[in-house]
Amino acid sequence: MTIDNSNEEIVRLLKEISGKLDRILMQGSSNIEPENGIFEVLDVMTLLTLPDHLRETATALFELGSATAEDLAKKTHKERAVESNYLNQLVRMGHVVKSRSGRKVYFSIGEGLGK
């Protein structure tokens, strides 16, 4: 790969990331109280430091609000057990909050991605 091709690939990836961030901002803004703003809920820099698989899970969870691992698996097209593992990793990292309602376990974006 030449330097020109490498630079073109970097530019392409940056544009792709920018587009994804724009979608997150636009979708998230309808779920947030106007006085709070999206960065109170989802810190983009924290999100970007996550590995790709956890970032995809966190982004999908943000879009869904509160969701089960099964709900997330339907959105991301991964196995429920895989999403459950990723969600529990995000819980241990302090980015996601876990709660139980009856037999179902729900996850939602926690304080860790908001500060």
Segments of the chain assigned E as strands = 96-101, 104-109
pTM (predicted TM-score): 0.61
Tell the CATH topology of 3-113: Arc Repressor Mutant, subunit A (1.10.10)
Which is higher by pLDDT, 3 or 92? 92
**How far apart are the two ends of the chain, measured CA to CA in Å?**
39
pLDDT tens-digit series, residues 26-69: 655 444 444 443 344 456 677 778 888 998 998 899 889 899 99
Residues present in the chain in total: 115
Locate the domains of the chain by residue range.
Answer: 3-113
